[in-house]
Amino acid sequence: MDSYATEYWKSQDSLPGAFAANGALFRFFAYAGFDFGGKRVLEVGFLTGADLLEAQRRGSQIYGLDLSEHSVARMKRAAGSGNFAVCDMTRDEIPFDVGFDAIYSIGVLCYWSDDEIAGFAAKCFRALVPGGLLVVEFIQCDYERTAPGIDLDDGLQLDQYREMTANFGAETNPFRFLKPRTVLTLFEQQGFSLVHRKGVLESYRTREEYFRYNRYFMFQK
């Protein structure tokens, strides 16, 4: 039976397709010296496909996996290829018989158990070419403002915020926070080496009373 998280993302067919590409992700690749030109790139959980389309614009042959049939159909039209499939990486193998230069997954790990993350890591390790890169992004924690009446000109002062024990959308969005050392251990156990890491702290959508701390890890086969 599908998990609650699986059912949640299968239901996200009403999201618009006009999202911008993730600037933090592409800066991360750039600082690591990765050139998208002529590379095979796979995204797991692409949803709107904005990042894949940016990779295609940069010269990559793009592939994608998602839980949503709607997202897969839309990407086939947008990218002009059939390299996209409905796939649940907690139980399915990667269905493409090619070696990838890079695989990345944004905002997906937090929906999986430790065992599911380890299984995902093993599948990615097998699918990458020697020296290939895997980038994963996950949510480490959320912060909620406790101090009232903060001046507009104030910089971010974390002593005016408290770290939350559950995410502020937990009622409708069933993910969990992940400890970076746990993530590192799960991927190292499958043969990966951590080569770069990046942290991004940003306000939640248009609400500055909340901040979210996202971590990016880059592993190499």
The residues spanned by each domain of the chain are 4-9+22-220
Q: Against a cut of 0.85, is the pTM above it?
A: yes
pLDDT-derived band at 18 (thresholds 50, 70, 90) equals low
Residue with tokens 């190499």, as numbered in its chain = 220
Q: What is the DSSP letter of 166?
A: S
Q: What is the mean pLDDT of the chain?
A: 90
pLDDT in tens, 89-135: 999 999 999 999 999 999 999 999 999 999 999 999 999 999 999 99
Query: Cβ–Cβ contacts within 10 Å for residue 43, how many?
Result: 25
Overall size of the chain counted in residues: 221
**Nearest-angstrom CA–CA distance, 164 and 177:** 10
**Nearest-angstrom CA–CA distance, 15 and 93:** 26
pLDDT-derived band at 168 (thresholds 50, 70, 90) equals low
The sign of the CA dihedral 80, 104, 125, 57 is positive
**Nearest-angstrom CA–CA distance, 58 and 68:** 25
Q: Check residue 79 and give its pLDDT.
A: 94
CATH 3.40.50.150 fits 4-9+22-220, yes or no: yes
66: pLDDT strictly greater than 70: yes
